Structure 1
Amino acid sequence: MSGFVTSETHAVHVESAIAKCRWRILPFLALMFALAMIDRSNVGFAKAALQADLGLSNTAFALGAGIFFIGYALFEVPSNLILHRIGARAWLSRIMITWGLVSAAMMFTRDEATFYALRFLLGLAEAGFSPGVILYLTYWFPAHRRGQAIGIYYFGLPCALLVGSPLSGWLLDMHDMFGLANWQWMFLVEGLAAVIVGFVALFYLNSKPEAANWLSRDEKDALTRDLQAEEERKLHHGPRGLLAALGNPRVMTFILIYFSIQVSVYGVIFYLPTRIAELLGTTVGLKVGLFISLPWLCAAAVMSIVTRYADRHAAHLQLAMCMLAMAALGVAASGLLNSFVPVLLAFCVAASGFVTVQPLFWTLPTGYLGGVAAAGGIALIGALGNIGGFIAPMLKANVEAIFADPRAGMLSLSIVGLLGVLLMWRLQDERPRAQSLPLEPGLVAGE
């Protein structure tokens, strides 16, 4: 120890390190997430073509679209524990390369059986990616900056659908080439893009600040101290081990909330292209893709503003409730309205809500869980919460069949979202003090 660093100097080093991390890490993670969302949701664009070419019923398509999340849930916790043990760089790269290969293999779909099998394998391949990134961000960003950091990562969702919607539509508008149908080209091109970025990630990412040669020694030390102090506070106030996290009541509440969010997300994503095409009286193609870009453009703008405000005012929970309520109301309106412009505006409201609520939500469990409990707990929340993506299309299809009314399906998804708002309301009196405890002022030991 060569002396002491004042708290002001320490703060300068931390802010400098965070600024570098923001520009170095987050845009690349957002790109990875964008490709994940394109490969996860492009089946919605291929719905009409797959049903025409393969004879899939609406029920078969709903099962195949949702079965992805069963595979995803099964390997989520083991995947995050492996990432915690061997490092994020190698494991996130592995996830991306394998899911890209499986996504490209969707071009070989021939019937219901291969459709189900490949969607299930895609879930297995991608398992652990998003919870892994959320865990990874806790290694780089303190809690008071994490909302905006996760928000920039989640910018990949509207970006994926802003760019991916026209791209998928354009690929579906292409004439068949080299004996491949248009939907086969869509899966091939978008899957191989993920493989390429996965290989780049292997050389671009660093697992932790200590390995980042683009941070100065003072920046590494200052950031690491802050993160270690935060980790100790979380371990003091929250569950310490994996089993304690898995049985923790607050973690169970987080799972139910995330489940309700995912029902809203995938109830819209899987059916938005065909809904807009029906209202326009056309097939899903470039024109539909361009119109669908508007909700994601709105979502990107709202998320940028709200996550920044939430970090500045420590209002993550309150704003998360508002955003999920907005999503639920938008989903309901999209089902009740019947003309193009009002429905598109309703989707803008829904998308802005369910995109923005996700980075706000993830500040809650990451502010509560630390160590191995964080690795397992975050993965468990993602695994079981994402089953909402399996339930959403099935719930929508079955409720519509029971009531013989297409509006009933979207209303059922909206109700699930509102239940999530009520669960977050209950969290207000249960928030752990560890999320808001400031760093001790004064002198910080330095080299």
Structure 2
Amino acid sequence: MTSLSIDETHRIATRKAMLRLIPLMCAIYFMSFLDRTNVALAKAQLAVDVGISAAAFGLGSGIFFIGYALLEVPSNLAAHRVGPRRWIARIAVTWGILSTAMMFVQGPWSFYVLRVLLGIAEAGLFPALMYMVTLWFAPNDRPVAVGWIYTAPALALMLGNPLGGALMQLGGIGGLHGWQWMFMIEGIPSIIVGVVLFFKLPERPRNARWLAKNEIDVLEQRAVIDAHGHPELTSADWIAALKRPTTVLIGLIYFLNQVAFVGLYFFTPAMIQQMHVKTPFIVGLLSSSVGVGFLLGVLVLPRIHRRYGNDCMYLGVLTAGLVAGACAFVATASPVARMVLLAVTAFFAGGVLPSYWAIAMKRLQGIQAAAGLAFINTIGLIGGFVGPYLFGMTETATGRSDSGFMVIVAASVLGLLLVPLLARAIRREAAPRPAVGAAAGAHS
């Protein structure tokens, strides 16, 4: 087989994998994002119906990520051991049950408990999906694959906000509040999707009946061998991934991104309401501007990254765009301009996410990928807790939900300052190390 025919086989096999896998991965991630963020639409009604204040809402929204973070690495190591198909299906069913149970919230403490349990149930989902990407796709194809996966949360914000707003208007039917109907109706489909994935999601190319033998071989070779030189590491080596400076720095930059972005999408409905919009459906519809910006970002920016040679320079440009968008929002008072800038901020804050994972995946493989990607996500999840909490505190202090944009400015500036440190760490890891004998001779 010629080199050209191998490349063509890989291209065809990659296209098959994209068409078969990405819709399933998007479906499960769509439902998870819908179930974790629909609480944003219930903020005002929870305050009236069960006495949850802005600060309590910010804490409860963010505390989800604490439960998630505590079990992130163990969960993804379990996915590596039992297989991502079984583990992802288990995650979906348990979080679907708990998301539905959110309809029984009675006050701040039950709100906190259910949000923590929801985070624990969902722990490991996203890094398990990223781990599957490392098993199926070559490094050059990963930004696009991850970008497609990120269309799921973008669509969840676009479609979920109007849908949730419409469901909120069912209040009074059957003696239930609108937010109770929303939690119940949006939680049950997650259980169904989890069962479907158990039967339909192949874990590795070798498990896919729809691939020819030569397609299986070339996918597995280029996903692992070309990127790292050997297919697997032993379980004794996984801790090494957590000690690498590049892993830690990517995690810290991701942490700051999540402080900004998670706070943004949890508090956007409240910002819209303070623009004197009262109808839940219209609030949800206008809040989808964040989803529109997010979707455009993950569709456009990974394709530019694929052709861009310098990872860290590209990361710096996108982070600078986030700083500029957030500063512009703070500087204007026009509601129309602010609606546009909500989308612009989400374009950069969300569109940069596939680049983080593509940069990390180039440097992790096998069980190191399972542990390292989960570790990065764990650090980011802590940012997911800190962001809504800080947004809630700033709203409590100022009386304005949009004051949280100062949190976005501060977090994105700090993230921009870390990018040169990441570039230096990558250069050091890539530099050839002198042989032990040569090093000894130099010091003799």
Fold similarity call, TM over 0.5: yes
CA pair 85-395 structure 1, distance change in 2 beyond 3 A: same
1:400, CA displacement in angstroms?
5.1
Q: Pick from 54, 59, 62 the counterpart of residue 63 of structure 1.
A: 59
Q: How far apart in 2 are the matches of 1:17 and 1:254?
A: 30
CA pair 234-155 structure 1, distance change in 2 beyond 3 A: farther
1:292, CA displacement in angstroms?
2.1
- Contact in 1 for aligned 2:162/2:285 (Cα 8 Å): yes
CA pair 125-307 structure 1, distance change in 2 beyond 3 A: same
Q: Which amino acid letter does the alignment assign opposite residue 413 of structure 1?
A: I
* Superposition pairs of residues 127-206 of structure 1, within 5 angstroms: 127-206=123-202
Deviations 1:398-436 (A, max 9, x none): 345567776653212321112112212322233269999
Q: How far apart in 2 are the matches of 1:28 and 1:299?
A: 20
CA pair 33-129 structure 1, distance change in 2 beyond 3 A: same
SS of match in other structure, 2:172: coil
Q: Does 1:106 align with 2:85?
A: no
Q: How far apart in 2 are the matches of 1:433 and 1:305?
A: 30
RMSD: 2.3
Identity %: 35
CA pair 357-240 structure 1, distance change in 2 beyond 3 A: farther
Q: How far apart in 1 are the matches of 2:263 and 2:367?
A: 33
Q: How far apart in 2 are the matches of 1:20 and 1:77?
A: 30
CA pair 430-233 structure 1, distance change in 2 beyond 3 A: farther
- Contact in 2 for aligned 1:317/1:360 (Cα 8 Å): no
Q: Does 1:9 align with 2:24?
A: no
- Contact in 2 for aligned 1:234/1:434 (Cα 8 Å): no
Deviations 1:10-68 (A, max 9, x none): 11111111000111111221121111111111111000011110111111111111110
Q: Pick from 338, 341, 351 the counterpart of residue 346 of structure 1.
A: 341
Q: Which amino acid letter does the alignment assign opposite residue 366 of structure 1?
A: M
Deviates more, 1:167-176 or 1:225-234: 225-234
Identify the residue that residue 213 of structure 2 maps to in structure 1.
217
Q: How far apart in 1 are the matches of 2:71 and 2:422?
A: 28
Q: How far apart in 2 are the matches of 1:46 and 1:275?
A: 14
Q: Does 1:274 align with 2:270?
A: yes
Q: How far apart in 1 are the matches of 2:290 and 2:396?
A: 28
SS of match in other structure, 2:426: coil
1:130, CA displacement in angstroms?
0.7
CA pair 218-384 structure 1, distance change in 2 beyond 3 A: same
Q: Which amino acid letter does the alignment assign opposite residue 198 of structure 2?
A: L
Q: Which amino acid letter does the alignment assign opposite residue 317 of structure 2?
A: C
CA pair 406-32 structure 1, distance change in 2 beyond 3 A: closer
Q: How far apart in 2 are the matches of 1:193 and 1:375?
A: 27
Deviations 1:189-214 (A, max 9, x none): 11111111111111110000000001
Q: Does 1:379 align with 2:374?
A: yes
Q: Does 1:319 align with 2:319?
A: no
Unmatched tracts of structure 1, length 5 or more: 437-447
Identify the residue that residue 229 of structure 1 maps to in structure 2.
225
Q: Which amino acid letter does the alignment assign opposite residue 87 of structure 2?
A: W
SS of match in other structure, 1:429: helix
Q: Pick from 237, 242, 245 the counterpart of residue 246 of structure 1.
A: 242
Q: How many residues align?
A: 430
Identify the residue that residue 40 of structure 2 maps to in structure 1.
44
Q: How far apart in 2 are the matches of 1:356 and 1:317?
A: 15
SS of match in other structure, 1:155: helix
TM-score of the pair, normalised by structure 2: 0.91
SS of match in other structure, 1:190: helix
- Contact in 2 for aligned 1:68/1:123 (Cα 8 Å): yes
Identify the residue that residue 323 of structure 2 maps to in structure 1.
328
Identify the residue that residue 443 of structure 1 maps to in structure 2.
none
Identify the residue that residue 439 of structure 2 maps to in structure 1.
none
Q: Pick from 359, 367, 370 the counterpart of residue 364 of structure 1.
A: 359
SS of match in other structure, 1:431: helix
TM-score of the pair, normalised by structure 1: 0.91
Q: From the two aligned structures, give the one with the greater helix fraction.
A: 2
Q: Which amino acid letter does the alignment assign opposite residue 219 of structure 1?
A: E
SS of match in other structure, 2:203: coil
Q: How far apart in 2 are the matches of 1:51 and 1:402?
A: 17
